[in-house]
Structure 1
Amino acid sequence: MSEVQPDYLTISYRPDLEVLVGRWMRQVSFSEMCQGYYLLLQAAERHQCRQWLIDVRRRYNTDREGAHWMVTEFLPTVAPRLGGRTHLAYLLAPVILRDPEGDSAFPTTEALAGRPFMGERFIDEAAAVAWLQQMR
């Protein structure tokens, strides 16, 4: 049975890599972002997948509100539902890494230390997938 996905996010599962892939297709509002991450979590539950590749190259709006919601509200609910530490590899456009506001909104690796989730940023999809494979 296929499920309807919103126009702003595609979700697929790569069984060969055991990676859930979410690709944001456009700019999103805060409520769309929240809804999209809950859709990703539902897909991850179906596949029991804790390795996520999140492609945000078309979504240039990492902001403090969204980052705060992710770290304080959304991500703490993921580990209990998936049964362990979740790894999120964010695929970013190079310009985002050069944007001081967007960069400061993204939690650092140190800020995520000891949490039941870990995120890392990449500009190369192969490197992101390799990191996810290493984290398994």
Structure 2
Amino acid sequence: MTNFGLDISPRPDLPAVVARWQREISETELHDGYFAILAAADALGCWRWLLDLRRREELATPALAHWMNHDFFPRLVGRFSLPVRIAFLVSPLRAQQQVSDSSAVALSAGSRPEQGFLTALFTDEAAAYQWLAQ
């Protein structure tokens, strides 16, 4: 499924939902994309997600950090039998940057299993899949 500059594919062999942004996006498209990922995960009953951010620029604003922490992440609590595992896949250069509280680097450091999710940052896709399989 492709929407919001995003390609969402199930990986039943893992099982995981793989979401790859294909272009630059707006903050509204980012919100819509995350809800599309959540809908795909719900349909598959899948709590493992790989989010490939390598083809889009960082969208990092205080408003986005607030939305992630106060609107999106709270929707994950109790949604699946286990906390959602979110692997953020980024370029090596981006992994070294920490722009703001809503950057992928900052979000990946904010695992909160008691709030329904675990996150990690990867520059290697195979390592991300290995972490998701745990």
The reply to whether TM is greater than 0.5 is: yes
Supply the AA of the counterpart residue of 2:71: E
- 1:96-115 counterparts in 2 under 5 A? 96-101=94-99, 105=103, 106-107=106-107, 109=109, 111-113=110-112, 114-115=114-115
Alpha-carbon distance, 1:87 to partner: 0.7
Out of 88, 91, 115, which is 2:89 matched to?
91
Alpha-carbon distance, 1:29 to partner: 0.7
Q: How big is the alpha-carbon RMSD for the aligned residues of Structure 1 and Structure 2? A: 2.0
Out of 2, 6, 10, which is 2:3 matched to?
6
SS at match of 1:42: helix
- 1:1-136 counterparts in 2 under 5 A? 5-6=2-3, 8-64=5-61, 65-101=63-99, 105=103, 106-107=106-107, 109=109, 111-113=110-112, 114-134=114-134
Cα 1:108–1:22 shift into 2, 3 Å: closer
Contact kept in structure 2, 1:61 and 1:102, CA below 8 Å: no
Corresponding pairs, count = 130
Counterpart Cα distance in 1 of 2:4 and 2:108: 30
Identity of aligned residues (%): 36
Supply the AA of the counterpart residue of 2:51: I
Higher relative helix content: 1
* TM-score (norm. length: structure 1): 0.84
Counterpart Cα distance in 2 of 1:28 and 1:124: 23
Counterpart Cα distance in 1 of 2:108 and 2:8: 25
SS at match of 2:25: coil
* TM-score (norm. length: structure 2): 0.85
Q: Which stretch shifts more, 81-90 or 117-126? A: 81-90
Contact kept in structure 2, 1:86 and 1:116, CA below 8 Å: yes
SS at match of 1:88: strand
